[in-house]
Amino acid sequence: MTAAAADLLAPAGTQYRKAITAGVIGNVLEWYDFGVYGYLVPTISQLFFPSGDATVSLLSTFAVFGVGFVMRPVGSILFGIYGDRHGRRRALSTVIFVMALATFAMGLLPTYSQVGVLAPALLVVVRLFQGLSAGGEWGGSTAYIVEFAPPARRGFFGSWQLVGVGGGFLLGSLTAALLNTGLSQADRLAWGWRLPFLFGIAVGIVGAYLRWRLTETPKYSEIEEQGAVAGAPFGEAFKKYPRETLLGFGVTLHNTVAYYIALVYMTNYMSSVGKLAQSTALWIGTSCLALFVLLLPLMGWLSDRLGRRPLLILSCIGYAVLGYPFFLMASSGNVGLAITAQLLMILLYVPYAGTCPAFYAEIFPTRVRYTALSIGYNIAVAIFGGFAPFIATFLVRVTDNNHAPAFYVIAAAVVTLLILLRTRETAFAPLR
Predicted model pTM: 0.78
Residue 376, domain CATH? 1.20.1250.20
Is there a domain that residue 425 lies in?
no
Q: Is 98 among the domain residues?
A: yes
Tens-level pLDDT at each residue, the chain (432 residues)? 433 334 334 345 566 676 677 667 767 766 776 667 766 777 787 888 776 666 666 666 667 766 777 788 888 888 888 888 888 878 888 888 888 888 888 889 998 888 888 888 888 888 888 888 878 877 788 888 888 888 888 999 889 888 887 788 778 778 877 887 788 888 888 888 888 888 877 777 777 777 777 777 777 788 878 877 777 787 887 788 888 888 988 999 999 899 888 877 888 788 877 788 877 888 888 888 888 889 999 999 999 999 999 999 999 999 999 989 988 888 888 888 988 988 999 999 999 999 988 998 898 888 888 888 888 888 888 888 777 777 887 888 888 888 888 898 999 999 999 999 999 998 888 887
* Spatial distance between the Cα atoms of 55 and 327, rounded to a whole number of angstroms: 18
For residue 314, the model assigns a pLDDT of: 95
**Structural domain contains residue 164:** yes
Cα angle at 167 between 166 and 169, to 5 degrees? 65
> Does residue 429 sit within a domain?
no
Give domain status of residue 427, yes or no. Answer: no
Residue 137 to residue 92: CA distance in whole angstroms: 7
Closest to 89 in 3D by CA, of 220, 222, 223, 201:
220
CA 234 to chain centroid: 22
Altogether, the residues listed in the chain come to a count of 432
| DSSP letters for 96-148 | HHHHHHHHHHHHT---HHHHTTHHHHHHHHHHHHHHHHHHHHHHHHHHHHHHH
In-domain check, residue 227: yes
Number of structural domains in the chain: 1
What distance in Å separates the CA atoms of residue 374 and residue 54, rounded to the nearest whole number? 36
Identify whether 244 is part of a domain: yes
For residue 18, give its domain range.
Answer: 3-420
Residues 158, 20: Cα–Cα separation, whole Å: 9
* Amino acid (one-letter) located at 405: P
- Evaluate whether residue 430 is within a structural domain: no
DSSP 141-171: HHHHHHHHS-GGGHHHHHHHHHHHHHHHHHH
- Determine the 3-state secondary structure of 227 from DSSP: coil
What pLDDT, on a 0 to 100 scale, did the predictor assign at position 2? 38
